[in-house]
């Protein structure tokens, strides 16, 4: 049986980014159920980084992450937040929150917003105000994953694909972890299985933390104009977002949240229709046909905040979970937190500087919540 220090379950962005750091501290193995990394949430994301996030903790983790998100995994690209009729107060609130982390953000008139995205409608039911962040980041999930995979291997770590973890038991000071082709004895298990984290905990006899996978739908369609310079554009309340995918294609989502089991989730017809309808309502576009469509799961803890830390009831069992709709943009900070907490290091200055404390991420808070 192979002995490892850290066995990470899941090669999404959470697991691979943490593993690349942990490999500097000891023998590290990532077990991924699928034949390649990023098959689930991490490969189905809209892949944008901005500060329009509900929770101050998530904004702080984003602020700590942005300096660590570099090309080819990230490039500067503007983000435009638009208020539809009735959403003016939301825009005001967003501006205040946003300025704390991104003072460069600019309030735009409707005319100025239309200069950036000329298809937006400004008549009845259309946009009434906008906020532009010229320094948003377009992320490249595959480049990020590939960078972490290479860093993991360079530090002597291993990625086992088509290696679902099927059983786990505690023997002495080690977790015995079974996959169909091999068994491992690990000092620390890092549960980074995305939507499946509670199921993986169940394999180890560890109590769940109530992670809820919520389905989000994406469509893409071609447009008769060059959109490559258009900002990522998102309504501040319920509505939609659009972003360029190359020069004449747009990606859109109705920002839906359909409850789902952890699975290879597929888009529902009504959510696809809703995506197209919301875009058509707020713009001058018609969408006669789709270029592609997919859905992915965004996994939330009951308080919708991320989790990183050892389970106080299960020695050597580390949770890295609940990355919701912000798992790519917060991954550098979360990987740093996971590395520090799993190895007992001093809390990093990058996290201290933005006010993130270890207790904000810990598991125990969720055991107080009934779900």
Ligand X SMILES: Cc1cc2nc3c(=O)[nH]c(=O)nc-3n(C[C@H](O)[C@H](O)[C@H](O)COP(=O)(O)OP(=O)(O)OC[C@H]3O[C@@H](n4cnc5c(N)ncnc54)[C@H](O)[C@@H]3O)c2cc1C
234 pairs with which residues across the strands? 81, 241
Residue 278 interacting with ligand X (CB under 6 A):
no
Q: Which of 143, 146, 177, 160 is nearest to 47 (CA)?
A: 143
Q: Given the complex with ligand X, which of 125 and 199 has the nearer CB atom?
A: 199
Q: Which of 42, 87, 233, 235 binds ligand X (CB under 6 A)?
A: 42
Residue 127 Cβ, how far from ligand X at the closest point, in Å? 21
Residue 331 Cβ, how far from ligand X at the closest point, in Å? 7
Residue 346 Cβ, how far from ligand X at the closest point, in Å? 26
Q: Are 15 and 320 in contact (CB under 8 A)?
A: yes
Residue 305 Cβ, how far from ligand X at the closest point, in Å? 13
Residue 36 Cβ, how far from ligand X at the closest point, in Å? 9
Residues 225-264 that bind ligand X (CB under 6 A): 253
Stretch that binds ligand X, among 81-89, 169-177, 193-201, 310-318 (CB under 6 A): 193-201
The rounded distance, in Å, linking the Cα atoms of 316 and 189 is 6
Residue 80 interacting with ligand X (CB under 6 A):
no
The rounded distance, in Å, linking the Cα atoms of 221 and 301 is 33
Q: Which residue has the tokens 């580390």?
A: 318
Residue 87 interacting with ligand X (CB under 6 A):
no
Q: Given the complex with ligand X, which of 106 and 264 has the nearer CB atom?
A: 264
- Phi and psi at 175, nearest 5°, equal -95, 125
Alpha-carbon separation of residue 156 from 27, 42, 54, 153, 357 (angstroms) = 7, 24, 38, 5, 30
Q: Which of 23, 192, 211, 336 binds ligand X (CB under 6 A)?
A: 192
220 pairs with which residues across the strands? 251, 292
Residue 327 interacting with ligand X (CB under 6 A):
yes
Q: Given the complex with ligand X, which of 28 and 329 has the nearer CB atom?
A: 329
Q: Given the complex with ligand X, which of 109 and 162 has the nearer CB atom?
A: 162
The rounded distance, in Å, linking the Cα atoms of 6 and 175 is 10
* Whether the bond into 72 is cis, omega within 30 of 0: yes
Residues of this chain that interact with ligand X (CB under 6 A) are 9-15, 31-34, 39-42, 44-48, 164-165, 192-196, 200, 216, 218, 253, 296-298, 323-329
């Amino acid at each position: 049986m192979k002995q490892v220090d850290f066995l990470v379950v899941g090669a999404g962005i959470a697991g691979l980014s943490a593993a690349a750091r942990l490999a500097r501290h000891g023998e590290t193995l990532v077990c991924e159920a699928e034949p390649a990394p990023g098959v689930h949430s991490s490969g189905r994301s809209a892949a944008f980084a901005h500060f329009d996030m509900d929770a101050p903790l998530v904004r702080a983790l984003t602020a700590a992450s942005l300096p660590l998100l570099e090309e080819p995994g990230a490039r500067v690209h503007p983000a435009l937040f638009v208020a539809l009729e009735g959403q003016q107060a939301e825009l005001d609130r967003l501006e205040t929150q946003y300025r704390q982390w991104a003072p460069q953000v600019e309030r735009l008139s409707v005319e100025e917003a239309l200069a950036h995205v000329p298809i937006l409608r400004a008549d009845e039911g259309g946009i009434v105000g906008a906020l532009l962040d010229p320094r948003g980041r377009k992320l490249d999930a595959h480049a990020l994953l590939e960078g972490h995979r290479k860093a993991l291997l360079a530090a002597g770590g291993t990625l086992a694909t088509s290696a679902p973890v099927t059983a786990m038991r505690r023997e002495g000071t080690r977790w015995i972890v079974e996959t169909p082709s091999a068994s491992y004895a690990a000092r620390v298990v890092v549960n980074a299985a995305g939507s499946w984290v509670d199921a993986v905990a169940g394999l180890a006899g560890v109590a769940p933390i109530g992670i809820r996978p919520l389905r989000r739908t994406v469509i893409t369609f071609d447009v008769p104009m060059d959109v490559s310079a258009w900002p990522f554009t998102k309504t501040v309340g319920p509505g939609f977002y659009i972003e360029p995918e190359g020069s004449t294609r747009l990606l859109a989502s109705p920002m839906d949240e359909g409850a789902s089991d952890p699975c290879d989730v597929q888009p529902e017809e009504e959510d696809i229709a809703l995506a197209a309808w919301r875009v058509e309502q707020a713009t001058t576009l018609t969408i006669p046909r789709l270029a592609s469509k997919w859905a992915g799961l965004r996994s939330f803890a009951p308080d919708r905040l991320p989790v990183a830390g050892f389970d106080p009831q299960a020695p050597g069992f580390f949770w890295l979970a609940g990355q919701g709709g912000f798992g790519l943009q917060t991954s550098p900070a979360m990987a740093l937190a996971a590395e520090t907490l799993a190895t007992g290091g001093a809390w990093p200055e990058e996290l201290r500087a933005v006010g993130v404390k270890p207790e904000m991420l810990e598991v125990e808070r969720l055991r107080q919540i009934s779900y």
